[in-house]
């Protein structure tokens, strides 16, 4: 039961994006289309889970004064692995993600969870916490990219879903959705909707 | 000379780190509650970014890039270490932040007190690592270009956070719907600011 909470809490009550405000940068930049967003979500889940696990295994031996450098080295090592794997098997997606795979290193979700959780919890719990937080991040990423791709280009995962006939009747794709500002405003509205349902998250 | 000025203006306004690339968003949203702290963090970012990007430019061109190790001898000429760039860049940034902190503490205690806790936080501000990675991707030819790009990126980031902080200070007096208060409205504001900044996009320099 307690373990299940570790997985489900970050999806809503402690969502890394909409509640903890961690890791916003990449959410906004990689969500123009669904495919890069899904790849990014999976990469982040892998890195958060494994870095939490490794740091938690090492937590007794890490001297507190140099812990940030050690954490960054572990994260950077995992991110290099992910980056090389993407370059080898999904080259076009990795080109689209450009610097944002590298920026997983400075994604605050990682440092935040390592500091707040993995440094004082056992490996299995830390691993679950990593997966949970990665998934909480992934959910927002996928929801946002679905909205943006559907309204911005009329397609999902690259397949046209809005029928030709509708365009002939005068329907036009909303070009603003592809541009950066609408990503911010859409996240703002998602926060609004979430807090409308979940009253305890409302800020004073 | 002309070109360097263009590069600076382009990076402050058109390719603004916050509004065009969303870099450094976490601290941007978290530290923009008052103008005073925003100015402190903005200054610290300008400082660190302008120091780290040229250093990483040297790393890139004399250590990492394919053929960059030629100065060690012809047997190193075709070595490509660019897969190590994340590790090296972040290490340089963490080390520079530490170094800058110690230097400022020794020689400019007033500035050190003003920057306070913001300096160490900057090691994980993605706009710093992002600037280094953009520098690598865009392949700036000279170290001067890299430095001017970094200065422009830093000034652009500082400008963005100070503008948002000023608006949020005024926002205290307005009646925002309860679920939107705080984080939600900050996102929407940033979006509107980004639309305003897109107006610079048409400028041809």
pLDDT tens digits, B3-16: 888 888 888 888 88
Residue B1 has pLDDT above 60, yes or no: no
B133/A181 touch (CB, cutoff 8 Å), yes or no:
no
| Rounded Cα–Cα distance for residues B104 and B112 (Å) | 6
Give the number of A-B residue pairs with CB atoms closer than 8 Å.
134
SS3 (DSSP) at A160? strand
Cα separation values, A110 from A31, A62, A117, B68, B164, Å: 20, 17, 10, 32, 26
Residue B205 has pLDDT above 70, yes or no: no
The pLDDT tens digits of the residues spanning B124-175 come to 777 888 888 888 888 888 888 899 999 999 999 999 999 999 998 888 888 8
Compute the nearest-CA separation of A98 from chain B (Å). Answer: 9
- Which of A:153-192 have CB within 8 Å of B? 179-185, 187-189, 191-192
The residue written with tokens 């005073």 in the block is: B36
Which chain A residues have a beta carbon less than 8 Å from that of B64? none
Which chain A residues have a beta carbon less than 8 Å from that of B21? 25, 29, 180
Low-confidence ranges of chain A (pLDDT < 50): none
Average model confidence (pLDDT) across chain A = 83
User: What stretches of B65-182 show up as alpha helix (H) in DSSP?
Assistant: 85-107, 109-115, 118-121, 126-138, 143-171
pLDDT, average across residues B53-64 = 87
SS3 (DSSP) at A155? strand
Of the candidates A184, A199, A202, the beta carbon closest to that of B194 is on A184
User: What stretches of A1-122 show up as alpha helix (H) in DSSP?
Assistant: 2-8, 24-29, 34-58, 67-89, 91-97, 108-116
For residue B95, what are its two tokens? Answer: 């080390």
A24/B22 touch (CB, cutoff 8 Å), yes or no:
yes
Residue B201 has pLDDT above 80, yes or no: no
Which chain B residues have a beta carbon less than 8 Å from that of A18? 183
| Rounded Cα–Cα distance for residues B149 and A1 (Å) | 52
Of the candidates B83, B134, B188, the beta carbon closest to that of A99 is on B134
Q: Find out whether B151 and B42 touch, Cβ atoms under 8 Å.
A: no
Strand-pair partners of A160:
A155
pLDDT, average across residues B170-188 = 85
- Provide the pLDDT confidence category of residue B73 given band limits of 50, 70 and 90: confident
Which chain B residues have a beta carbon less than 8 Å from that of A107? 126
Please give the model's pTM, rounded to 2 decimal places: 0.80
B86/A79 touch (CB, cutoff 8 Å), yes or no:
yes
Query: Best interface-test mutation with A: which of B101, B180, B189, B199 has the largest number of A CBs within 10 A?
Result: B180
């Amino acid at each position: 039961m307690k373990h299940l909470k570790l997985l489900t809490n970050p999806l809503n009550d402690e969502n890394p994006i909409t509640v903890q405000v961690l890791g916003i940068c990449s959410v906004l930049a990689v969500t123009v289309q669904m495919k890069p967003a899904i790849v990014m979500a999976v990469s982040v889940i892998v890195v958060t889970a494994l870095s939490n696990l490794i740091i938690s295994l090492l937590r007794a031996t890490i001297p507190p004064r140099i812990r940030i450098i050690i954490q960054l080295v572990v994260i950077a090592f995992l991110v290099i692995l992910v980056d090389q794997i993407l370059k080898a098997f999904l080259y076009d997606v990795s080109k689209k993600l450009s610097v944002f795979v590298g920026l997983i290193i400075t994604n605050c979700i990682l440092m935040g969870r390592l500091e707040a959780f993995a440094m004082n919890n056992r490996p299995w719990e830390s691993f679950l916490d990593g997966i949970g937080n990665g998934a909480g991040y992934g959910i927002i990423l996928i929801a946002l990219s679905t909205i943006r791709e559907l309204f911005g280009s009329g397609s999902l995962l690259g397949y046209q879903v809005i029928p030709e006939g509708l365009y002939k009747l005068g329907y036009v794709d909303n070009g603003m959705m592809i541009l950066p500002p609408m990503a911010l405003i859409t996240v703002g509205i998602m926060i609004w909707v979430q807090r409308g349902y979940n009253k305890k998250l409302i800020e004073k | 000379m002309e070109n360097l000025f263009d590069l600076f203006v382009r990076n402050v306004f058109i390719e603004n780190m916050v509004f065009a690339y969303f870099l450094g968003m976490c601290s941007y949203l978290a530290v923009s509650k008052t103008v005073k702290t925003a100015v402190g963090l903005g200054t610290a970012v300008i400082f660190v970014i302008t120091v780290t990007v040229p250093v990483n430019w040297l790393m890139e061109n004399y250590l990492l890039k394919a053929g960059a190790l030629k100065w060690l001898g012809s047997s190193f000429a075709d070595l490509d270490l660019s897969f190590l760039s994340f590790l090296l860049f972040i290490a340089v940034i963490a080390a520079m932040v530490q170094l800058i902190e110690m230097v400022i503490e020794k020689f400019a205690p007033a500035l050190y007190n003003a920057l306070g806790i913001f300096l160490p936080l900057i090691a994980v501000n993605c706009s710093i690592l992002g600037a280094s990675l953009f520098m690598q991707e865009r392949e700036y030819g000279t170290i001067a270009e890299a430095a001017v790009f970094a200065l422009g990126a830093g000034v652009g980031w500082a400008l963005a956070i100070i503008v948002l902080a000023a608006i949020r200070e005024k926002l205290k007096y307005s009646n925002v719907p309860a679920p939107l208060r705080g984080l939600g409205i900050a996102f929407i504001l940033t979006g509107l600011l980004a639309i305003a900044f897109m107006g610079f996009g048409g400028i041809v320099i």
